């Protein structure tokens, strides 16, 4: 609760409660410039820490336990990085554009910012980002008029067949959407559907 309250005042206060850990292939430079908004550290991804890092990246507080002491990383408990970087509003540093397939047309910096409409991605950091997101019209074609998510386990409690049917329909529609995206890129018509964030 203290972290949530501190975040309401300013995102920078989250640095008193957590640090950012980035595990990546050490043969390549991280695709972001030096991160100074929160205490951050980079760790080389290895065979020894790949599985613990993947598990930690999915460790949602109050749903799963965090992963303690990932090999090669500073001591501590590691959790879902979305707490700090929910939609990856980061200072990207590489040539060209960043292709960002996403589930919404908004970029929300951190998990605790989801309910704060004034907290949105930094336009200067997103200027070279192409965000690929479903339209409202597309979402209307899906079961329950939304992308499947973990809340479906509550919506379809004791109805696994209904949940699975809805998810399969959404997957089929996503395949169709992916085919349409590929066609737009192959024909050079992608620029006709681009909109500023």
Question: What integer pLDDT is reported at residue 145 of this predicted model?
Answer: 93
19: buried, middle or exposed (CB in 10 Å: 19+, 13-18, 0-12)?
middle
Q: How far apart are CA 167 and CA 164, in angstroms?
A: 5
Q: What is the mean pLDDT of each run of 10 residues along the chain (197 residues)?
A: 87 90 88 87 93 91 88 94 86 84 88 89 86 89 92 94 96 90 92 84
Distance from C-alpha of 42 to C-alpha of 72, rounded to nearest angstrom: 10
pLDDT for the residue numbered 20: 92
Q: What pLDDT does 169 receive?
A: 95
- The confidence score (pLDDT) of residue 89 equals 87
Write down the residue that tokens 């993947």 correspond to.
54
SS3 for 6-22 is HHHHCHHHHHHCCCEEE
Per-residue confidence (pLDDT) for residue 76, from 0 to 100:
93
Q: What is the pTM of this model?
A: 0.73
């Amino acid at each position: 609760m203290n972290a949530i309250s501190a975040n309401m005042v300013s995102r920078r206060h989250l640095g008193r409660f957590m640090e950012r850990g980035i595990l990546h292939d050490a043969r390549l430079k991280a695709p972001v410039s030096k991160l100074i908004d929160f205490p951050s550290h980079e760790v080389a991804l290895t065979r020894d820490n790949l599985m613990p890092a993947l598990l930690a990246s999915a460790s949602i507080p109050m749903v799963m336990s965090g992963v303690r002491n990932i090999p090669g990383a500073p001591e501590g408990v590691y959790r879902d990085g979305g707490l700090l970087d929910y939609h990856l509003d980061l200072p990207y540093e590489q040539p060209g554009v960043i292709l960002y397939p996403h589930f919404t047309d908004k970029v929300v910096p951190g998990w605790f910012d989801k309910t704060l409409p004034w907290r949105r991605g930094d336009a200067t950091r997103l200027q070279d980002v192409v965000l690929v997101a479903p339209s409202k019209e597309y979402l209307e074609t899906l079961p329950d008029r939304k992308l499947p998510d973990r809340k479906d386990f509550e919506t379809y409690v004791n109805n696994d067949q209904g949940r699975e049917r809805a998810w399969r329909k959404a997957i089929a529609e996503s395949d169709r959407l992916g085919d349409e995206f590929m066609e737009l890129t192959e024909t050079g018509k992608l620029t006709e559907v681009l909109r500023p964030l």
